[in-house]
Structure 1
Amino acid sequence: MYYVELIDRFWKFNEREGAGHTVIAFYLYLLKMAKDHNDYQFRISDVELGKRLSLSRSTVKVTKEKLRDLGLIEFRTKNGAAGHYRLILDYPLEGREVRNKQRDIVVETLSESSQTYEKGSGKDKAEMNNMAQDIEVFSSSVSINRNIPDLREFLDFARTLDAYIPDCDKLIEEKYDSWLKNNWKSSNGRLITNWRSTLKNIMPFLLSDNKRVHLSVKDIPHIRHPEQK
């Protein structure tokens, strides 16, 4: 990436970050040094940087740490000797500091919740556990309700199955009503997560039920008892 492109990228980055005048001047000077050295890694001491930019050593220290936290540079210094700097070219435009703050907020929130739970009384813990269970049940209910078809869709799908016969419509409607009244659970109490597959599997049993319903007394053959002598 060329010098001019890095400057342009930094201005776009600064529009979101608002790094401040000192940080801007400091970074632009580091860019100039990289251009002069024809390398994005170079050495310079805090004292020398302070002299060239008219900054105190403490300001130099704070500013380079700020640039590091923003994800723009990496540096190594030891006992005031010349520091090793490396400019990061592919930094995200949102900035590392923004991502770190977002992460810290999440971690802090989770930590506070954990501490509240640990310090709470037995009653508080019981209430929190009940709340968590209610949320879990509600979430499951919402997820299941999204998968419940209306009766028309239920019947339309049943009529596409190979095992379907028109005489079964009444039993199919009754099965739909029974699942609906049972919070979309089967007769054995299991949640129906894939109603199409379940309906397809039970169709043969519905056919058997249908045959039993239509079986009447007149269909039973007359059995002649032997004559008593």
Structure 2
Amino acid sequence: MKSLHLLALAAFAVTSLPAHAEEAGPVTSFRIGLEQLEMPIPQGYCLPQGNEEAASQLLAAADYDNVTLAHFHACGRNPAVSAYDDYILLKTPKAVLALTLPREEFLDVLDAESNKPGANIFDAAMRAQVEAEMGEVMGTAPKLAFEIEYLGRDEDCVYLIGHGDVSIDDVQTKRGLMVACMAVTQGKMFAVYSYRFAAGDTVEGLKAQTRAIAVSVRAKAE
């Protein structure tokens, strides 16, 4: 299950407003293998455009083990002011793209793998791999100093929490918080990652947000 955790780490190295997945409003769609899925764009978030879309493509290219399904950032932010963004990513491991997974059984597997006693979800080897992959694609390798830990399980998600520092060129350092929900919908596994690089957000708030987004993913309407 190494790739399930690496997909969070590559994203963490590049950078909101509280968001809630709603049925009203614009919808975006994506494919996992042969399965066409869709979801409402979270309230307060937008799809990247222009230069931010190009940056999003670089971020996705730096994650060798996973497919980026969707990338949302807080609407109205000024990228000239903030070198890091608070954002939401949806990803799926390439290893499971073609598989149809039984929901409850696979959540049990994810839960067991993430909650092993003494498990080191983000060790030195993984950190070095992510830094190298980011550097190869983006030209500058970030320095990552953070931890990723098991956060629990409910009927919809297996949760992870990440917290620590990201440094670029040994100059810009930002402390961030990430909560992930790993879920299965229509037989397809994906993960929702919510990131915060600003004070005021709580772990429980991010946990609720990732769950709301995960359960909003559905089969694409004909």
Q: Tell me, yes or no, whether TM beats 0.5.
A: no
Structure 1 or 2: larger helix share? 1
Bin for the TM-score computed over the shorter chain: under 0.3
TM-score, length-scaled by structure 2: 0.22
Q: TM-score, normalised by structure 1?
A: 0.21
Bigger Rg, structure 1 or 2: 1
